Structure formats: C-alpha cells, structure tokens
Amino acid sequence: MKKFLIVGLGNIGEKYTNTRHNIGFQILDALAKDEGADFVTEKLGDRAEFRFKGRTFILLKPSTYMNLSGKAVKYWMDQERIAIEQLLVVTDDLNIDFGTIRIKAKGSAGGHNGLKDIQEKLNTTNYPRFRFGVGANYSRGRQVDFVLSQWDKEETSMLIERIPASCKAILSFGTAGLANTMNTFNGKGDNI
C-alpha cells in the first residue's frame, strides 16, 4: 500500500495555537478530524494515520519547533520508508495572498526557516511543498510579530472555507498525484 508523509509545520505550545505560522498544524488537525484519526505523541512529534482510497496517509506535527523541523521529517521518512516524492510539507507563506494555495514539486526555502532546516537535513530542495498564503499585512521589521500573531476576525471566518479546500488538496496529492493536484488547486483559496 502506498504511503504518504504529510508534515504540517508549526510551533508547539498553547501560545502558538491559531497563529499564522501554525497553519500547517491547523490544516493537519482538520484533516485528521475529517478522517477520524487521532494524533498520538511519538518521537519528535504528534502523529496520526488513516487510509483513504487505498493509500495510507501519515500526518506529522513536529515537536521540534519550526526552525528545527528537518530532524523530525528525516526521522519519520526513514522510519516509515517514505520516498521523497511521497512527502508533502505544509507551511505558511508571507509572499502569497491570504488563503491562496501554492503546491510545488521543489523550490527554495524562500526565507522560511522551517523549510530551510528540512532542506539541510534532506540535503535537497526537491521535495513537494504546500504553501498556504498568510499575506503580508505588516509594517517593515514586523514580520516575526505578524506570523506569530493570531488570525484576525475576518481571516478566521475565511479559514472556514480555506482549510477544507486545503484538506482536499492533500488527499488529492496522495490519490491523483502531484501534477493533477497542482493543476486543480494552485491559486485557489475557496472551497473546491
């Protein structure tokens, strides 16, 4: 049975819940709930697993903090014998409009420290990533404060549509493949 490792990036701890930087955790929480899977604390992260259309999806929320995510990704790829093309890293992106999905087969870290650490630990930039746009509504020098702040009221109401679309994109990645998923979901933010 084909297995996929879906890694949601974020920071552990109550103070980071519902922050823009933790959208990876939020999306995986929603997907696990939809599929009736429960997260269990294991080595280097919280892990959930479910089957969908003959595929196994392993969801991982690293407990290493965002900037050290690569250690958990590498460990679970080795542990579960996951090929690099069956890895999908879900993260926030300041350079994309709020709620917009951008899935790519490879790319640079784009200034994202979590992706940078994964790139260093895997020794490649050639791994699929799912960037969720959080926008760039902050003043100069306030980037860190912005990503670590809570969603505002308008964003929170819009996430009600955006998160289910993101969950569908992840399931599509495992069942329809990367190219079809990019064609269907890239640039989209609304419910599909």
Which positions are catalytic? Answer: 21
Task: Tell me the C-alpha distance between 5 and 58, whole Å.
Answer: 5
DSSP SS3 for 55? strand
- Helix or strand run (H / E) with residue 2: strand 2-8
138 is in an annotated binding site: no
Q: What residue type is 45 in one-letter code?
A: G
Task: Tell me the C-alpha distance between 158 and 146, whole Å.
Answer: 18
16 is in an annotated binding site: yes
113 is in an annotated binding site: yes
Q: What residue type is 61 in one-letter code?
A: K
Nearest to 69 by CA among 124, 112, 130: 112
Q: Are 93 and 102 in contact (CB under 8 A)?
A: yes
Annotated binding site: 16, 65, 67, 113
Annotated binding site for tRNA: 16, 65, 67, 113
